[in-house]
Every structure is written in C-alpha cells, then in structure tokens.
Amino acid sequence: MARAAQNAAWCRTFAVLAQIFNANRDRDKTQPLDPLEFYAWGDNDENKGSQDEVKVQKNRREMRNLFGKRRD
C-alpha cells in the first residue's frame, strides 16, 4: 500500500509538472507534453511482463483518459 500511495503522489506531481510546462511553453516551437512523459519508471525493461508493468500500463491509460492524448 505504501508503494501505491507513493506512486499516486508521483502521478499527481507529474500532472502538475505537465500543466506548468504546457502553460508556459512556446506554442510555435514545442508540442504539449503528456504527464506520463515525466514518468521515469514505466519503461524499465527489467519489469516487462511483470505485475508491476501491468499496473503501470493501467495507470498510463487512466492518465491518458484524464489528460488527453499527446497532439503531434
């Protein structure tokens, strides 16, 4: 439960970071960032296929649904 609480706190932090970045970015030079682009632990090859990876993918889907998909 402690790990889940810590993960939830970091997800909120990433959402705030993305909002700050997107509010202050130069619209002509940069694309908006998805909050999950700040998430450093999700692309770890050691955890592929593990239960933690499944939870990470679920969290990413939830974050994308909340904050929209990245616009290219």
d(CA 31, CA 72): 7
Read off the pLDDT of residues 27-64 as tens digits, 9 standing for 90 and up: 888 888 888 787 776 554 444 455 667 777 777 777 77
pLDDT of residue 69: 61
Determine whether 35 is exposed, middle or buried from the number of CB atoms within 10 Å of its CB (0-12, 13-18, 19+).
buried
pTM more than 0.85: no
21 pLDDT above the threshold of 80: yes
pLDDT of residue 61: 79
Higher pLDDT, 11 or 64: 11
pLDDT of residue 70: 60
Closest CA to 56 of 36, 33, 32: 36
Number of Cβ within 10 Å of residue 56's Cβ equals: 19
